Structure 1
Amino acid sequence: MFKKYFLPILLSGIWISISEFARNEFLLKSQWTEHYQSMGLEFPSEPINGAVWGIWSFVFAACIFVISRRFSLWETTFLSWVTGFVLMWLVTGNMDVLPFGILYAAIPLSLLECFLATWIINRFSKK
């Protein structure tokens, strides 16, 4: 049971966490902070924010796992990307807290994130 369910979700969640951290802390942090400053806000980067993103990563990995039970690698990648990222960007864009300038990097990197998360799940679990 551990190898079939928990290990793939755990490994995928770790990958998602690393991907999110690298993208948003190293590649895009200045764009996030500048955008928030332009609105008179401080970009939320307290440890509790990181913890919530960590929880998000493992919940997202579990959702990818469930989706992967019914769909192919590519279908799961696309469905996961739409539900995990496109919907989030629509909401944050609607609230005017999304710096649209990050999308040139965020779109391909989030697609890669979803693909590799799906691949990890498919590799370490049996349908």
Structure 2
Amino acid sequence: MNTPSESTRSIGDSIAVGRERGYYRVIFDAGPVDAETFAELAGVPEQSGRIWLEEQAGAGMLRVVRAPDGVGEELLLPGEYVPVLVSDEDTPEFSGARALLREHLAEVERVRALAADARPALVK
């Protein structure tokens, strides 16, 4: 079983892989995706894509949403993470979003903590 520090390191590594390989950009550009679509767009085997997506969803980096067919589920990149995960500091298309994030960072962390605390109650 992973210790908290091992889990944190593993999530951090998974996030780094997603940024380096452009996985977050793929999801941002495509919109919500299932594992098969993500794997095809990212050019990875479906099983590898599924594992990475599950890691990201488990860490709260991706949000699970109902698929348009109303039956399946897809994953989307929440807008509040886009400026950090999709762009580099020199990408002008996100300069406004980065400024807003810096201005409201404490608020984002508070809301994220509240959501994490509420998650078990929502699952029941």
Give the TM-score of the pair, scaled to structure 1. 0.29
Greater strand share, 1 or 2?
A: 2
Higher relative contact order (CA 8 A, sep 6+): 1
